Amino acid sequence: MSDAKFVVIDGNELSFEPGETILEAARRAEIEIPTLCYDDRLTPAGACRICLVEVDGAPLMQPACATRATAEMVVRTNTQRVDRNRKFILSLHLADTIQDREIAEDNNPSRVHELAETYGTAGEWTSVVSPRQGRPQDTNRFIEFRADRCIACSLCTRYCNEVEAVSAITLAYRGAHTTIATADDQSLTDTTCELCGGCVDVCPTGAMTEKQALEWGKPERELEKVRSTCNFCGVGCQVDLNVDREANRVVKVTSPPPGTTVNDGNLCVKGRFANDFIHHPDRLTEPLVRDNGELRPATWDEALDRVATGLAGVKERHGNDALAFISSSRCTKEENYLMQKLARAAFQTHNVHQCAAT
């Protein structure tokens, strides 16, 4: 092997790290190679075949996502053959799923349609009557699998297995029947599934989709993404609230793309799905105080005075350690700091705890 550690892609000499793939080397140099079944957090499947490129010396085109760059390898991504294959793959997937973009993107965006717009297709082929089965009997509240949109790229099963280590879903059956299934087609809630929704997030076609957002009926492209911090625990995961501005409503929560925030594209069941409290009629939106057993709205000043008087009274009657302070895991670090400050400085007690501390 030569000392020169570069791969030639479309005439550009690019350096690469040992073990790096053609795709990784190309992306660093901003040479675009389309992918459907690739996610850099997962073992490449090489299944969608849209990233095939020509490699000098190889009779067949090679998957850029899975082919390691080697010294002096000559790769071509802009040939007629490569382009013809991209169009072929896109026509295939469109024939196998839903050709009409409006229908396909009723909830989530479709990467297949996006790529078809960029790269074109080999024409609209007669739709395939696919025997892929869904799981209509699944009673979980959050995730729906729509087999008519599935391209069997296995991103969801690999994510479930490799990132979450949950292995609740699998590629099942064979050939044309290949689909995404749980063991014995059970509901997700009867499996090891933790309802993290990562399968929805990695799905390039909206085959895995959010039930609640689907019911709301507005596609993601018509929603505005508002970046926020999940406050269910102290990790600080970044979330994108998908807001329907007309209705002033959070329709769903998605994770920012992998590699951009601390949570690297991941969320848990709470962060992704436990958001119905936002618009819940029982949600408290102003301070309430109780008079003669009845709650009534009050100002913050009045409410805080009531709390202070009550706490000071307990301290006076029963001593400092009759009080205990427990804060929520949904508080920020600063808020928790203030809580213990309140306990120790104002009431001279060490009875302070936080529900996420065990």
- Contact between 119 and another protein per CB under 8 A: no
Handedness of CA 173, 175, 177, 181 (dihedral sign): positive
- Contact between 279 and another protein per CB under 8 A: no
Q: Give the dihedral of Cα atoms 211, 216, 217, 221; nearest 10 deg.
A: -90
Task: Return the residues of window 129-168 that contact another protein according to CB under 8 A.
Answer: 129-130, 151-152, 161, 167-168
90 vs 352, beta carbon nearer another protein? 90
Query: Contact at 8 Å (CB) between 173 and 162?
Result: no
- Contact between 176 and another protein per CB under 8 A: yes
| CB hemisphere CA count around 51 (13 angstroms) | 26
- Contact between 2 and another protein per CB under 8 A: no
Long-range contacts of 329-333 (CB under 8 A, 24+ apart): 329/232, 329/233, 329/234, 329/354, 329/355, 329/356, 330/231, 330/232, 330/233, 331/231, 332/231, 332/234, 333/234
**Which part of the chain contacts another protein (CB under 8 A), choosing from 12-20, 57-65, 291-299, 310-318?**
57-65
Least Å distance between CB 49 and another protein? 4
138 vs 220, beta carbon nearer another protein? 138
Q: What tokens were used for 104? A: 């396909």
133 vs 340, beta carbon nearer another protein? 133
**3-state helix vs strand vs coil in the chain, percent to 5:** 30, 20, 50
Least Å distance between CB 80 and another protein? 12
Of 21, 35, 99, 182, the residue at the interface with another protein (CB under 8 A) is 182
Residue 143: Cβ-neighbour burial (10 angstroms; 0-12, 13-18, 19+): buried
Residues in the interface with another protein (CB under 8 A) total: 49
Q: Which is nearest to 106 in space by CA: 267, 215, 193, 265?
A: 215
- Contact between 63 and another protein per CB under 8 A: yes
**Which part of the chain contacts another protein (CB under 8 A), choosing from 8-16, 21-29, 176-184, 277-285?**
176-184
26 vs 92, beta carbon nearer another protein? 92
The span from the first CA to the last CA of the chain, in angstroms, equals: 55
The CA distance from 30 to 276, in Å, is 40
Least Å distance between CB 47 and another protein? 5
The residue behind tokens 């349609």 is 113
**Which part of the chain contacts another protein (CB under 8 A), choosing from 56-64, 207-215, 234-242, 314-322?**
56-64
Give the contact letters, 185-224, x = binds to another protein (CB under 8 A), - = no. Answer: ------xx--------------------------------
Q: Are strands 208-210 and 179-182 parallel, antiparallel or unpaired?
A: unpaired
The CA distance from 7 to 11, in Å, is 9
Q: Are strands 249-254 and 238-244 parallel, antiparallel or unpaired?
A: antiparallel
Angle at 209 between CA 205 and CA 212, to 5 degrees: 150
Give the contact letters, 80-109, x = binds to another protein (CB under 8 A), - = no. Answer: -x--xx--xx-xxx-xx-------------
**Which part of the chain contacts another protein (CB under 8 A), choosing from 9-17, 183-191, 235-243, 268-276?**
183-191
Interface residues with another protein (CB under 8 A) are 44-49, 52, 60-61, 63, 66, 81, 84-85, 88-89, 91-93, 95-96, 122-123, 125-126, 128-130, 151-152, 161, 167-178, 181-184, 191-192
